[in-house]
Amino acid sequence: MREDVSEATTKTTAAPAALSRKKSDDFMEWYNEVVEVAELTDKRYPIKGMNIWRPYAWKLMLNIDAFTRKEMERTGHDEVKFPLMIPEALFRKEEEQIKGFGSEVFWVDFAGENKLDERWIIRPTSETAMYSIFPLWIRSHADLPLKTFQVVNVFRYETKQTRAFMRVREIHFFEDHSCFATFEESEAHVKEDLEVASNCLDRLALVHLKSRRPDWDKFPGAFYSVGCDVVMPSGRTLQCATVHEYQQNFSKAYGITYETPKGERDFVHQTTFGMSERLVGATVGVHGDDKGLFLPPEVAPIQVVIVPIIFKGKEGPVLERSRTAVDALRAAGLRVHLDERDRTAGEKYNHWELRGVPLRVEIGPRDVEKKHVAYARRDGQKGFIKDEMLVEGVRDVLSAIQKDLRERHMAFTKTQIHVVRKIEEARKAGAIVVLPLCTKAECGHGVEEALDYKTLGVPLDETSDAKGERCASCGQAAVEWVRFARTY
Amino acid sequence: MREDVSEATTKTTAAPAALSRKKSDDFMEWYNEVVEVAELTDKRYPIKGMNIWRPYAWKLMLNIDAFTRKEMERTGHDEVKFPLMIPEALFRKEEEQIKGFGSEVFWVDFAGENKLDERWIIRPTSETAMYSIFPLWIRSHADLPLKTFQVVNVFRYETKQTRAFMRVREIHFFEDHSCFATFEESEAHVKEDLEVASNCLDRLALVHLKSRRPDWDKFPGAFYSVGCDVVMPSGRTLQCATVHEYQQNFSKAYGITYETPKGERDFVHQTTFGMSERLVGATVGVHGDDKGLFLPPEVAPIQVVIVPIIFKGKEGPVLERSRTAVDALRAAGLRVHLDERDRTAGEKYNHWELRGVPLRVEIGPRDVEKKHVAYARRDGQKGFIKDEMLVEGVRDVLSAIQKDLRERHMAFTKTQIHVVRKIEEARKAGAIVVLPLCTKAECGHGVEEALDYKTLGVPLDETSDAKGERCASCGQAAVEWVRFARTY
């Protein structure tokens, strides 16, 4: 059916870079290779864990940021930008934060030849920077809610092995910091933020688990934390979003008060919500295959690549049709690239498959005659679209790809979760396990140690009630189901 | 004609913050006040020169960035993002840069409790970070041109007085770094960059002077530098964009070579182009007045504010019409805000005039009856637009405002430039002076000292040939006209 392709002019140029590792052989080896070969990042910058965003990855990140901003606007948040540097004294105001971040922060001591009077930390997160100013912005209940966010870089001195997009020292970061008059309102905001996180992950065709983290693993200073974890192909989970209820913990440390309608002063209730470049890492890791990336259409920098199938002396009609197709698709708001390079069709296919373009459109002389275009989805499915239906046809195929990617990840995720009752069963189950537990921290720690797993926490997206079950650790009456997994 | 406004319900709420300074009395005092009262920035952050971007200013900056990105895409540049930190050894590779920036950089020494093996600087500009990697990206002439840019924050330890958006220590920065095979191509790129700068400034309704900086004031390491200076209301100039021809100065220091078509190795020719948040400072300073900001429609976060004129018991038709007007304008892609707050019309007018919204639309009961809306441009011009012409009418008025703002600045700029032949004349002329000079550096320095002015340089946007004139300093044959000014 597409036999004409193999007859097309072949040029003797170097074959495009291909992957030497198979995803199924060793996920992490494959991941480390694909992020460089597909030109997402350059890890040769001479500081460990501080990588270069190459244009293709940065476009992907900007597409994700643009959607996040849209969601923030929809939910009435204002974007701000606070300074990167935080004076030491401010940072020391909230003790839990120092405990949590003290060993991970970078310090600025000198400006030119001058030692600073007070040294600064480079933000690992922005609570201390923002919460020193919020008291100046919030006076009365009329100033509430204050819903703000920023998109910035944060810096953490990672001592573990670094991995592009997944564990780095300079992190592209989104953080929502919001203040409310009542606990009820801040609780409602936790729900709103989780919905935004869900929408963002959905856009990346990623399924996630929402779990309330155990007390020993909540954000430093938080009342409680919720993590959104994505199950990676290795069965390990990657935390991709977190939402924290601070209650009045920070407002008390930073003196963020408001005048109630009755004229009394009270501390505000606060929440935060963070996401990062890990969204790129999860997308790359979950959807890619042995040929390279597979980017979900909704965020792909290039949604459609058009490859003209050229025969010497017969270029005219094919190139003409290719260009009108590009124009029509662009006019419809689609991100399209026309590959007119002097390479063989096969080289071009490999090039764009490696880069994960979800849909390839091929136009050869026969397609022009037959008034249709041929297409190949990144997952190999092929078909034709009639010329007069080009825009609708392409849109439909892209929607189908987006849906299929998400369903594939949903199906995979389900295979990785095992509801069990005993630690011995959990040992055999592998990947993510859900066990009934009582509420004692020592029982949670006991399971962690026995399995060498981390606690994800209590499911918020499924029933958590374990009434009638026995704690997998101590054998007494269980209260909740708790998720455990190996994590990145 | 709009007498119904004064009859509208008045509420007793606190008057909105107004300016205590007049622009005509003291420009800089006015500027320092308006950036805070109009809620662009908060300067109360406890580190000098590191200010908070409030939502309104950040939206303005993002609108400017969006246009810059569009221009970069039009001219075939790819966006990248390099790390913030630069190892000391890399920074030391290019001597001129150390001389130029050595005393202005911030140093990172510690990570947590650990002293770093090699300390890092926080980028004051990105030459050293990028040029250590470019040799890995450029192998042959086929890899050229390499046209890249990034939008990042840079950090400079300013010892002079800081001013919001004009002179700060954490600077929102745009930087274009491009490499070419030949000097001719890099020269053509200087022109292309100057055109982009021009388009960006035009969008802000700002007129600028393009001058080739004298050798003693070029960018550290550059072959030559061109500055784009905006004349501020005080008659001082503010450098808003710079384009640098590096020739092979940096490529030799960093070993950025390529294989020519003949198989020889040669060093690339480089250019850079920078703009910063000063674009916000210039926009605020040039267009504002005693009532507050005046933002050019093309970049204003809110282009149109709709103020319903409410009479108790007659809200229905007015609010309904206001909402359909908002919907129609938004659907046409305009940035519109409907002010439904429970305030008097006068308070709302003041509020939005302070914030520089270029166009106010008022809708009262009589306007609904007459099937039109009333409008007031931020400069006071008033009129009516028929309901059936709403979108086109608003578009026309916004275009006219944009054009008028630029023409006003053009007319002002012209009044500030004085072509003179002697230093004594220059002393009386004030503001910017253009003098004939020979090419000796000491003559340029002589004029600088005599006038207490800085050299802007040789005009690139007007004739620079001073044949037949005498050097204003030494009296010998002049070669070029040279611009001098007091600068920010």
Tell me which of B3-7, B387-391, B412-416 is least confident: B3-7
Count the neighbouring beta carbons within 10 Å of the beta carbon of residue A322.
Answer: 26
Residue A84 pLDDT exceeds 90: yes
Q: How far is A124 from chain B, CA to nearest CA, in Å?
A: 11
A142 touches chain B (CB under 8 A): no
Give the model's pLDDT for residue A2. 53
pLDDT in tens, B269-326: 999 999 999 999 999 999 999 999 999 999 999 999 999 998 877 778 999 999 999 9
**Smallest CA–CA distance from B99 into chain A, residue:** A112
Identify the helix (H) or strand (E) that includes residue A378. none
Distance CA B486, CA B488 (A): 7
Q: Give the chain B residue nearest A119 (alpha carbons).
A: B108
The reply to whether residue B45 touches residue A108, judged by beta carbons under 8 angstroms, is no
Residue intervals of chain A classified under CATH 3.40.50.800 are 302-401
Cα B310 to Cα B29: distance, rounded to the nearest angstrom = 37
**Backbone φ/ψ region at B330: left (φ over 0), alpha (ψ -120 to 50), beta:** alpha
Find out whether A268 and A144 touch, Cβ atoms under 8 Å. Answer: yes
B50: left (phi over 0), alpha (psi -120 to 50) or beta: beta
The distance of Cα B402 from the centroid of its chain, to the nearest Å, equals 16
Structural tokens at position A287: 């959807």
pLDDT value at position B11? 40
Average pLDDT, chain A: 94
CA distance A228 to chain B (A): 27
Helix residue ranges per DSSP H, A215-336: 249-254, 278-287, 315-331
Residues of chain A with CATH 3.30.930.10: 27-287
How many residues make up chain A in this entry? 488
Is residue A271 scored above 60 in pLDDT? yes
Kindly state whether A87 is in contact with chain B, defined as any CB-CB distance less than 8 angstroms.
yes
What residues are paired with B267 via a beta bridge?
B257
- A305-309, A310-314, B418-422: least confident range: A310-314
Write out the residue limits of the CATH 3.30.110.30 domain(s) in chain A. Answer: 417-485
**What are the distances in angstroms from CA A264 to CA A247, B97, B268?**
18, 57, 68
**Phi, psi (5° rounding) for residue A70?**
-65, -40
| Residues of chain A found within 8 Å of residue B172, distances taken between Cβ atoms | 81
Amino acid identity of residue A89, one-letter, is A
pLDDT of residue B269: 98
Q: Under an 8 A CB cutoff, do B84 and A132 touch?
A: no
Burial letters A240-252, b for 16+ CB under 10 A, else e: bbbbbbbbbbbbe
Integer Cα distance of A394 and A334 in angstroms: 9
Assess B78–A contact: CB distance below 8 Å, yes or no.
yes
Tell if the CB–CB gap between B108 and A104 is shorter than 8 Å. Answer: no
- Give B171→chain A minimum CA distance, Å: 10
**Measured between alpha carbons, how far is B35 from A262 in angstroms, rounded to an integer?**
34
Beta carbons of B345 and B43 less than 8 angstroms apart: no
**CATH code reported for the domain at B416-485:** 3.30.110.30
Looking only at the bridges linking them, the beta strands covering B359-363 and B304-308 are: parallel
**CATH code of the domain occupying A302-401:** 3.40.50.800
**Residue A19 in contact with partner chain B when CB distance is under 8 A:** no
CB contact under 8 A, A50 and B78: no
Contact yes or no for A109 and B105 at CB 8 A = no
pTM: 0.95
- SS3 label, residue A276: strand
Q: Give chain B's largest Cα–Cα span.
A: 84
Chain B residues within an 8 Å CB radius of A172 = 81
Class for the domain spanning A417-485: alpha beta
Q: What is the DSSP string of A200-229?
A: HHHHTT---EEEE--GGGSPTT-SEEEEEE
- Asked if the model's pLDDT at residue B172 lies above 80, the reply is yes
A374 pLDDT above the threshold of 80: yes
| Nearest-angstrom CA–CA distance, B458 and B473 | 16
Which residue is closest to B40 within chain A, CA to CA?
Answer: A80
Closest by Cα among A316, A354, A357 to A334: A357
Residues 45-74 of A with CB under 8 A from B: 45-47, 50-55, 58-59, 62
For residue B347, report the phi and psi dihedrals to the nearest 5 degrees: -60, -40
A interface mutation test: which of B11, B36, B39, B47 has the most A CBs within 10 A?
B47
> Could you tell me which chain B residue has the CA closest to the CA of A98?
B112
When scoring A11, A39, A47 by the number of chain B Cβ atoms within 10 A, the one with the most, hence best to mutate, is A47
The per-residue pLDDT for A471 is 97
A72 in Cβ contact with A59 (< 8 Å) = no
Contact status, residue B167 vs residue B488, Cβ threshold 8 Å = yes
Phi, psi of B120 (to 5 degrees): -115, 150
Q: Among B124, B127, B224, B242, which residue's Cα sits nearest to residue B179?
A: B127
The whole-angstrom separation of Cα A83 and Cα A132 is 12
Residues 146-165 of B with CB under 8 A from A: 148, 153, 155, 157
Cα distances from A106 to residues B20, B75, B353, B398, in angstroms, run 42, 38, 43, 48
In sequence order, what are the beta bridge partners of A359? A304, A377
Q: Is B265 exposed, middle or buried (0-12, 13-18, 19+ CB in 10 A)?
A: exposed
CATH, range B4-11+295-404:
3.40.50.800
Which among B55, B80, B103 is the nearest to A53, CB-wise?
B80
B444 Cβ neighbours under 8 A, 6+ residues apart: B214, B216, B437, B455, B473, B482
Residue of chain B whose Cα is closest to the Cα of A147: B55
Buried b (16+ CB within 10 A) or exposed e, B22-48: ebeeebbebbbbbbbbbebbbbebebe
Both structure tokens of B18 = 């107004």
Residue A20 pLDDT > 80: yes
Residues of chain B contacting residue A108, judged by C-beta atoms under 8 Å apart: 106-109, 122
Chain B contacts of A143, Cβ < 8 Å?
Answer: none
Q: What is the dihedral of CA A123, A127, A129, A134, to 10 degrees?
A: 160
Instruction: Give the pLDDT score at B17.
Output: 63
Which pLDDT score, from 0 to 100, does residue B2 have? 53
Contact A47 B87 (CB under 8 A): yes
Chain B residues with CB under 8 Å of A81 CB are 52-53, 58, 172
Cβ atoms of A438 and A477 closer than 8 Å: yes
Tokens standing for residue B60: 């303005």
If pLDDT is split at 50, 70 and 90, which confidence band does A478 have?
very high
Mutate to test the interface with A, among B56, B101, B108, B159 (most CBs of A within 10 A): B108
What is the distance between the alpha carbons of residues B137 and A444, in angstroms, rounded to a whole number? 50
Question: Which residue spans within A357-446 are E strands per DSSP?
Answer: 359-363, 372-377, 382-386, 417-419, 432-437
For residue B159 the two structure tokens come to 């010892």
Cβ neighbours, 10 Å, residue A415? 10
pLDDT band for position A267 (cuts 50, 70, 90): very high
Q: Does residue A15 surpass a pLDDT of 50? A: no
Listing DSSP states for A122-183 in one string gives EPSSSHHHHHTTHHHH--BGGG--EEEEEEEEEE----SPPBTTTB-SEEEEEEEEEEESSH
Q: How far is CA A414 from CA A452, A486, B176, B483, in A?
A: 22, 16, 47, 71
What pLDDT is stored for residue B10 in this prediction? 39
Rounded Cα gap, residues A162 and B109, in angstroms: 20
Query: What share of chain A in percent tops pLDDT 90?
Result: 89
Q: Exposed, middle or buried: residue A313 (CB in 10 Å: 0-12, 13-18, 19+)?
A: exposed
Note whether B44 contacts A90, CB cutoff 8 Å. no
What are the start and end residues of each CATH 3.40.50.800 domain in chain B? Answer: 4-11+295-404
Query: In chain A, which residue's Cα lies nearest the Cα of B57?
Result: A80
What integer is the mean pLDDT of B70-82?
Answer: 98
In angstroms, the CA A433 to CA A421 distance is 9
| Rounded Cα distance, B38 and B280, in Å | 13
Interval B351-386: pLDDT, tens:
999 999 999 999 999 999 999 999 999 999 999 999
Subunit contact B82:A46, Cβ cutoff 8 A: no
Is residue A457 within 8 Å of A209, Cβ to Cβ? no
Neighbour-count burial for B385-402, b at 16+ CB within 10 Å, e otherwise: bebeebbebbbebbeebb
For A236, A247, A262, A469, B34, the CA distances from A450, given in Å and listed in that order, are 17, 34, 54, 20, 63
**Are A132 and B46 within 8 A, CB to CB?**
yes
> How near does any CA of chain A get to the CA of B352, in Å?
18
Residue A341 confidence (pLDDT): 93
Which of A47, A106, A136 comes nearest B83 by C-beta? A47
Closest chain B residue to the Cα of A122, Cα to Cα: B108
Residue B91: per-residue pLDDT? 86
Residues 221-260 of A with CB under 8 A from B: none
Strand partners, B243: B226, B273
Top-level class of domain A27-287? alpha beta
Between chain A and chain B, the number of residue pairs with CB atoms below 8 A apart is 132
| Least reliable range by pLDDT among A49-63, A176-190, A354-368, B87-101 | B87-101
Instruction: Determine the residue type at A180.
Output: F
Give the per-residue pLDDT at B98: 75
Q: How far A200 CA lies from chain B's nearest CA (Å)?
A: 21
CB distance B170–A103 less than 8 Å? no
State how far the Cα of B368 lies from the Cα of A228, in Å rounded to an integer.
51
Residue of chain B whose alpha carbon sits nearest to that of A99: B112
Average pLDDT, chain B: 94
How close B289 comes to chain A (CA, Å)? 26
Is the pLDDT at B6 greater than 70, yes or no? Answer: no
- Residue B182 CB partners (closer than 8 Å, separation 6+): B269
% of chain B with per-residue pLDDT over 90: 89
- The pLDDT-based confidence of A119 (bands split at 50, 70, 90) is very high
CATH 3.30.110.30 positions along chain B are 416-485
Mean pLDDT, to the nearest integer, of A429-448?
A: 94
pLDDT bracket for residue A312 (50, 70, 90): confident
What average pLDDT does the segment A290-309 reach?
A: 97
Minimum distance, in Å, between the CA of residue A313 and any CA atom of chain B: 26
Are the beta carbons of B112 and A105 separated by less than 8 Å? yes
What is the Cα–Cα distance from B311 to B7, expressed in whole angstroms? Answer: 8
B80, B104, B114 member nearest A58 (Cβ): B80
Tell whether A126 is within 8 A of chain B (Cβ): no
**Do the chains contact at B120 and A47, CB–CB below 8 Å?**
yes
Q: Hey, are the CB atoms on A81 and B46 less than 8 Å from each other?
A: no
> Do the interacting molecules here have an ipTM over 0.90?
yes
Q: Do A47 and B85 touch (CB under 8 A)?
A: yes
Nearest to B107 among A85, A108, A133 (CB): A108
Task: Identify the bridge partners of residue A384 per DSSP, sorted by sequence position.
Answer: A374
